[in-house]
């Protein structure tokens, strides 16, 4: 598998692929294309998440503002910091690399 390749041409839903599942660390690739979180849905995760955008473009919404993500952008989202994916570009696949870490909080 190649992280920049192996992208389905049809993406009715986001595709989550676990790349590593170890004690306290899980790495996954997420592929979106025009997807956003459902209306009114906020992630409220038990673990921290470090995420980078490998390709495409996205907009994350937090309770106190917006973060635009382009390729090479990264950020750390502490556990229980509420956020949602407000927008991903419909023009090409948006590929995320996500590292979930830490104990459940």
Q: Which residues bind to its own copies, rule: CB under 8 A?
A: 2-5, 19-20, 22-25, 27, 48, 50, 52, 54, 70-74, 76, 97, 99, 101-102
> Please, what is the minimum distance in Å from the beta carbon of residue 45 to its own copies?
15
Cβ proximity to its own copies, 15 vs 36, nearer residue: 15
Q: In angstroms, rounded to a whole number, what is the distance separating the alpha carbons of residues 92 and 34?
A: 8
92-104 b/e with 16+ CB inside 10 Å = b?
A: ebbbbbbbbeeee
Cβ proximity to its own copies, 24 vs 46, nearer residue: 24
> Please, what is the minimum distance in Å from the beta carbon of residue 18 to its own copies?
12
Q: Across-strand partners of 67? A: 60
Cβ proximity to its own copies, 13 vs 17, nearer residue: 17
Work out the widest C-alpha separation in the chain, in whole angstroms.
Answer: 37
**Two tokens, residue 55:** 């390709």
Cβ proximity to its own copies, 3 vs 36, nearer residue: 3
> Please, what is the minimum distance in Å from the beta carbon of residue 88 to its own copies?
18
Residues in the chain: 105
């Amino acid at each position: 598998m190649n992280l920049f390749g192996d992208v389905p041409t049809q993406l009715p839903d986001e595709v989550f692929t676990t790349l590593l599942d170890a004690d306290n660390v899980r790495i996954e690739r997420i592929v979106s294309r025009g997807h956003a979180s459902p209306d009114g849905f906020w992630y409220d995760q038990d673990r921290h998440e470090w995420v980078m955008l490998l390709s495409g473009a996205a907009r994350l919404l937090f309770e106190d503002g917006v973060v635009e993500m382009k390729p090479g952008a990264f950020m750390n989202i502490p556990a229980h910091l509420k956020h949602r994916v407000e927008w991903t570009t419909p023009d090409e696949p948006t590929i995320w690399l996500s590292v979930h870490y830490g104990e459940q909080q």
